[in-house]
Chain A
Amino acid sequence: MDKFRMIFQFLQSNQESFMNGICGIMALASAQMYSAFDFNCPCLPRYNLAYGLGILLVPPFILFLLGFVLNNNVSMLAEEWRRPRGRRGKDPAVLRYMFCSMAQRAMIAPVVWVSVTLLDGKCITCAFCTSVPVETLGNASHPGFSQGEMKRVLARIPCKEIYDGQELIANEVAVRYLRCISQALGWGFVLLMTTLAFLVRSLRPCFTQAVFLKSRYWSHYIDIERKMFDETCAEHARSFARVCIQQFFEGMSTDLATARCHPPRKTPADAGEAIEKLLGITDQSTMNSALKSWHRCKPPLHLQQPALPSSNGWAGEEHPPAHSPVPRREVAAYYSRV
């Protein structure tokens, strides 16, 4: 337990490294997904462009949204944004910081997908094979091909088995050309993204360092406060449940004693822990009735004050006393049959 607490504390204190870990995993997952994906170019004139650009652009969008979904802090951001002002002011710089850091992390997996796709070359080859410059690479003056025919022939470039335009333009020449363009675009994209990231990271300390430190502190604070509140509520719920159930069993054993017409038996001081834990229920039929009562008629969510008789004990809240006699009557009725 200690081990888990220490790991949890480490992750909590170093929350950024946890989020970095998730974002690295998503980047690897996106590269793996691409290599597992079975790319199948349709080799038809208009479908090629739609398919190629779709595979290039739709999965990154999905990965971007997934990056937001998997980030626990999204609900925190939404809550902080929508909460009423109350007695605590709202700082837009904190909201901006939270959103920016989430968006930056969510961008990594899509960028990896787009880079890997461009560097691999299949998508661009599929999408733009009908726009290959036939005049420079092949013999455009080859007779017998109208515009539409030529497009149809060129569209089959990615599918080597059915390509029949070898006289028009050699398949390998066209594929090499398209792949070269694709790889150039890929490396250019990677360079652009890296330069942007570098600029964003290095210009920030020069301009807004004080605001940045403030926003970072308060965004961590909001996160820690929310977690602590959840922990406190969980502890409270545990105690509430414990007391509620204890009162339920005590109520059962009091009813039992009333039904059998003798006073509730006080366990002698040296009876031992085990007998105390039985809570006055010591035979099968009693246990069965306790279980049935728990199922049919759960106690109200209202803890009674233990030192007072129940008729006086309300803490002044809205629960009317009329509810409580009902379970008793049920139990008494059961026992009178026996």
Chain B
Amino acid sequence: MDRFRMIFQYFQSNSESVMNGICGLLALASVKIYSCFDFSCPCLPWYNMAYGLGIMFIPPVTFFFCGLILNRQSLVMLEEWSRPQGSRKKDPAVIRYMCSSITQRAMVAPIVWIIVTLLDGKCLICAFSGSVDPEKFVGFANASSVQVQQLLAKVPCKDDELMRNNTSRKAVSRYLRCWSQALGWSILLILIVAAFLARWLRPCFNQVTLLQARHWSNYIDIEQKIFEETCCEHSRQFAHKCILHFFESMRQEIKLHSFRLPREGEGAEREEDALRGITNQDQVNKLLKMWYYEKPPLNVSQVTHR
């Protein structure tokens, strides 16, 4: 139990690690979805390009939005941005820092999808098989242009009857896959170099502002969590007092309507407290009926002042 509480407290104190965890999970989910997804190129002249580019770009947009939605800090940032100034000034540097950290984390899953797509090659083969220069490939060189378009469009479909034994199909396929993988690896290299430079060169610029912005953005996040917890605790106490007050008022009513002789005995008092003066079926039924028909007002001030 202690371990569980420690882990929970660790996550509470370090919300950045929670967000990193979520961003990692989304990246893994994107790879898994790509491998489960049954890519089937339509092998028709205009549809190929639309399908290929659609599969390459629409899921990343979805993952980007998912990354923004699942990140709690985006809500905190929006609240901080849209709140009235009140007696606490707003610091644009903090909001900018939060925005950039949220966006960076949300971009990881889309980039993973695009890179996996490019390295796999199916999307690019499907999208650009119709744009290849037919002169370069023996099997397609001497056909009319319409026929060539049709044939090239069928290149991604290995099992099509026209393409089954066509050696030029494999040539076109390999050519496009080579381009696709080259593009994928270059994008990966550029991104990693950019991330490396950004991380190395950042301390040279505005380190103090950065430290302040990070501290205050963490603070705003923790303050929000603690406010929610305090509200929960408060509503529990409020409910407790409200119900006790309700049972007390029922007990008063019963005392008014009955002639109770004074009681003796120590042992009876403990049970009596638990029973709160309600000792038969009709009284219980009346209590439950009152609870439904006339809930007590949300006001426990007289209880606390007693």
Contact = CB atoms under 8 A, between A and B. Distances in A.
A240 B297 contact: no
Given A84-B294, A86-B295, A224-B235, A303 B59 contact: no
Contacts of B279: 240, 243, 302-303, 315
B219 interface: no
Contacts of A73: none
Contacts of A160: none
A239 interface: yes
A183 interface: yes
Interface residues of B, number: 76
B82 A206 contact: yes
Interface string B144-172: 00000000000001011100000000000
A156 interface: no
B238 interface: yes
B264 A205 contact: no
Interface in B1-37: 1, 4-5, 8, 37
Contact of B243 (A88, A202, A228, A242): A228
A221 interface: yes
B280 interface: yes
Interface string B270-302: 010011101111111000100111111110000
B62 A317 contact: no
A201 B70 CA distance: 10
A183 B78 contact: no
Contacts of A302: 279-281
Interface string A184-216: 100110110011011001100110010000000
Interface of A is mostly: helix
Contacts of A201: 69, 75
B276 A173 contact: no
A236 B274 contact: yes
B306 interface: no
Interface string B254-282: 10011111011100100100111011111
Contacts of B236: 224, 228
A319 B83 contact: no
Contacts of B295: 83, 86-88
A338 interface: no
Interface string A166-195: 000010110011011001100110110011
Contacts of A195: 65
Contact of A205 (B58, B82, B281, B298): B82
B66 interface: yes
Interface string B129-145: 00000000000000000
Contacts, number: 176
A300 B62 CA distance: 65
Contacts of B118: none
B69 A197 contact: yes
A88 B296 contact: yes
B184 interface: no
Given A172-B157, A176-B43, A187 B54 contact: yes
Given A3-B1, A180-B51, A225-B243, A307 B297 contact: no
A232 interface: yes
Nearest to A176: B42
Contacts of B37: 119
A120 interface: yes
A92 interface: no
B223 interface: no
Contacts of B59: 187, 190
Interface string A1-12: 011001000100
Interface of A: 2-3, 6, 10, 13, 79, 83-84, 86-88, 119-121, 137, 170, 172-173, 176-177, 179-180, 183-184, 187-188, 190-191, 194-195, 197-198, 201-202, 205-206, 209, 217, 220-221, 224-225, 228-229, 232-233, 235-236, 238-240, 242-243, 300-303, 305-308, 315-319
- 7 tightest A-B contacts by CB? A316-B258, A86-B294, A301-B281, A180-B42, A239-B274, A225-B239, A302-B280
Given A84-B293, A88-B296, A233-B288, 11 more contacts: A6-B5, A119-B37, A176-B157, A187-B59, A190-B59, A228-B243, A236-B275, A302-B281, A315-B280, A316-B257, A316-B258
